[in-house]
Every structure is written in C-alpha cells, then in structure tokens.
Amino acid sequence: MANILCIGAGYVGGPTMSVIAKNCPQHRVVVVDINADRIAAWQSDQLPIYEPGLDEVVRCARGKNLFFSTEIDRNIAEADIIFVSVNTPTKTFGQGAGRAADLQFWEKTARQILENSTSPKIVVEKSTLPVRTAQAMERILNSNDKGLHFDVVSNPEFLAEGTAIRDMENPDRVLIGGRETPSGQKAIQAIVDIYAQWVPRERIVTTNLWSSELSKLVANAFLAQRISSINAIANLCEKTEADIAEVAHAIGMDSRIGPRFLRASVGFGGSCFKKDILNLVYLCEHYSLYEVAAYWEQVIKMNEYQEARFVSKMVTAMFNTIAGKRIALFGIAFKANTSDTRESPALAVCRSLLEEQAKVVITDPYAMDNARADLGAAAEQVIFEPDPYVAAKDAHAIAILTEWPRFAELDYQAIHESMVKPAFVFDGRNILDHKELHTIGFNVYAIGKPPRTNFVN
C-alpha cells in the first residue's frame, strides 16, 4: 500500500484522485486544499464542481480509501507520493506579467513539502508548468540538511472538463516524465504502476522530464490552434457563402487532419488554453525565439478577434444599436457539461454587450454562480434567469454561447412569439437548426455560414 497525497482539490486534483482511488483500492488517497469550504464541499453530497459521472466515482471511494482534508502538514508527513495540483495562473505583476506562469503557490507548496517531510518522497507535477520547472523543484526539495532525497516526476493531466471522468478512466495516453537516474527511473515506475491498474501499458508513455513538461503546453497549443484555424476560415466562409460545417467535414475526412476539434465557435475558453499558450510564448521569448513566440501568440489574438467579431456582428445586425435592448445569453460556461466559467468567451461577450448598454439576461443550467462571481460589480447590471423561456421573453435577441444540448431542444416557435420583433438569433456554437428558425421568423446569424434573414430589402 502507498499513501498518495494530492495538494489542490480543484477541477483537476479532485476528479483525478477520485479515479485513482476507485481503481487502486490498495492505496490510500488523500486530497488536501487550503480552501476549507472547498474541502467541506468535497466531503458533502454537493461536490464543488459539476462534472458528469463524478458523484458516482466519489461515492464509490470516499471514506474507504479516498479522503478530503485541510490538514496539509500532517498528510505531507505521511505521504509516499505527492501529486501537486495547485493553480498556476498567468502572472499579473512584475517580470513576465500577462504571460509567464505565476509560480508562487507552486514554490510555496514545494517548501511546505520539504518542511513537513521526514521520509523520502516522490513529488509529481500535475499542474501545468513551464518547461524546466522540475529543476527548480528538485533544487528546493533537495537543498535540505535532513539527508532526504526527493524525486520529481512530471505527469501532466490531459482531461477535458465535462468528460474528465471518461478521459481519466479511458485516456488516449498517460504521460510520465522523470530523470534518467536509477532513482528517477524507480520513481517513474511507481507512477506507472498506479495507472497500470486500469490503463493498458502501451498507453502509458514515459519520457524525460522536459519532454513531459513541454508536451502538456504543446498539446494545448495544438488544440487551441485548430480552433483558431477553423474560426479564421469561418470568417472567410461568411464572406464567400461557403459553409464552415461543410468545409470542416470535407477537410476532416482527410485522415491526416482528422474530424475532431474542428467546430467553429464564438471562441475557445477554459482555464488552460490561453494560459498555456501565453506561457509557451513567454518561454520562446525567454530563449530569444521571437518568431516562434509571435507564431503561437497569433492563436490567442485570433480567439480575441473571434469574440469581438461576434459582438460587432450582433450590433451591426441589430441596426447598429443595442442600447436598452434585452438580449438573452444562452450559456455562460466555457463549454457544455461544466459549471466552469474561467476564460469563457460568453463572459467576454457579456462584458462587451454591457458596454453597449444592452440589458443582458444570462441563463445556464450549472454555471450561473461562477459567472456572478467572475463578473464582479458588473453582475449587478445582469439578470440571471434559470428558465431560458423567461430569459428570452421580451428580448430582441438570443445569443447561444455554450453548446448545452438542451438549448437545441427548446420550443423556438413559442420563444419567437414571446420576443420583440424582428427577433434575432446569434448562434455562437452552431447547435441550432438554422433553417427551421428562419422559417419560424427569426433572423439567424451563425458562425461561418451565410445569415438567414427575413428582411425584404
């Protein structure tokens, strides 16, 4: 039996450790966090995050070999393996502000591990970090005069919110990077043995530390790049009467390109893509690779343009003024099946609409509390309405900003009847039946498709 500890009970730490505990009943898994409210929620029936399948997994292991606690020091002392999953946001101050990763929580955690350790341990980097962070971690941990040796292993997470449990149960691959020394190899093997309990061995990839750290940033950069690429082409479609869905289908059938992650949208969000690309850009600049940095930065610029373009399309279509007009935002989460709103394009759209003095109504099945917190003072200008029918009543326009399947199943005939005419739909996720909406009487604007309007001239 091993004592496994995870520091950081967030979107990553909580689901990851729950799946490990469920699949490794022989190990004891403890998840700790400085946030006592979060830990209390993990201990309750109201988990702090919405994630399909999470409740079942937690219920199956909690109290048996899965524990949530605020006692960080004692659990560090008892642990054999420590996963570190604390947040590493983009730095907002000093050198590298707006780009580099803020590693203060990370370093604080390393020092806390050192302070409370009386036995050697394996420390696993789960948080996304700039390449070569493990070296700093090793230097801090092994600077001790207790005669203790720490092995640092990189094991980045690739789970996507909304499918986190499925991704963990059945991953495309698990990546584990470590030192090429005998003790480093032993540490890699210890982590391989955990995942090998349920992941086929050929899907567990082992590399050196730096390849593993860098691969995480690169995976997210490539995924985000695909979205910015398809969104760039969507804009060209809107000018040329090509249809982005048809183009995506046609190019995705080339097995070298593949069909996934080609959904044009109002933009990508989430806690990782922007932060990780900024981090990559900062690293490239640090190594004087300015052209490489500019190349990747364009992926973010394209995304910001996509959000801004969506709003400007709304304003233009609605006769160049939306001041005082009620606009219903369907979805505020950054994607479907999550309560997470971090970097959600819907929030960016909401803020811009407020600047235009529109009356914004937000409806979302799970993400409204997070949205309220993110909007801060601006939340007072927004109406939060759980029922989409009520949100749309007396509105001039609906904007679909999250691809919740339930938004495609509403009675748009009834919705149209309750709205101010001419009524508009701006489908930022291309999930609705545009032809049908047009027949009902809506003026429909989608991403990468010609608009369908009912204006005669």
Instruction: Report the catalytic residues.
Output: 272
CB 96 within 8 A of CB 55: no
What string of H, E and C letters represents the secondary structure of 11-71? CCHHHHHHHHHHHCCCCEEEEECCCHHHHHHHHCCCCCCCCCCHHHHHHHHECCCEEEECC
CB 321 within 8 A of CB 243: no
Which position has the token pair 């029936």?
A: 45
Smaller CB separation from ligand UDX, 308 or 390: 308
Smaller CB separation from ligand UDX, 8 or 184: 8
Q: How far is the CB of 129 from ligand UDX (least distance, A)?
A: 8
Instruction: For the sheet with 3-7, list strands across it.
Output: 66-69, 28-32, 3-7, 81-84, 121-125, 150-154, 174-178, 204-208
Smaller CB separation from ligand UDX, 223 or 358: 223
Give the integer Cα–Cα distance in Å for 376 and 167.
33
Give the integer Cα–Cα distance in Å for 313 and 241.
16
CB 319 within 8 A of CB 332: no
Q: Which two tokens stand for residue 407?
A: 């938004």
Smaller CB separation from ligand UDX, 224 or 360: 224
- Looking at residue 364, the DSSP 8-state letter turns out to be -
Smaller CB separation from ligand UDX, 86 or 314: 86
Give the integer Cα–Cα distance in Å for 338 and 402.
10
CB 266 within 8 A of CB 349: yes
- Looking at residue 454, the DSSP 8-state letter turns out to be -
Judging by beta carbons within 10 Å of its beta carbon (0-12, 13-18, 19+), is residue 288 exposed, middle or buried? exposed
Q: What residue ranges bind ligand UDX (CB under 6 A)?
A: 7-13, 33-35, 38, 85-88, 105, 108-109, 126-128, 157-161, 220, 223, 227, 261-263, 265, 268-273, 334-335
Smaller CB separation from ligand UDX, 266 or 440: 266
Smaller CB separation from ligand UDX, 128 or 212: 128
- Tell me the Cα Rg of the chain: 24
Q: How far is the CB of 287 from ligand UDX (least distance, A)?
A: 21
Give the integer Cα–Cα distance in Å for 419 and 396.
6
Query: In 3D, which of 47, 51, 9 has the Cα closest to residue 29?
Result: 9
Smaller CB separation from ligand UDX, 75 or 127: 127
Q: What's phi and psi for 297, nearest 5 deg? A: -65, -30
Give the integer Cα–Cα distance in Å for 370 and 25.
34
Which position has the token pair 């070569």?
A: 132
Q: How far is the CB of 371 from ligand UDX (least distance, A)?
A: 14
Q: How far is the CB of 211 from ligand UDX (least distance, A)?
A: 17
CA distances from 412 to 390, 392, 433, 434 (A): 13, 10, 10, 11
Residue-by-residue DSSP string for 60-122: HHBTTTEEEES-HHHHHHH-SEEEE----PBP-SSTTTTTSB--HHHHHHHHHHHHH-SS-EE
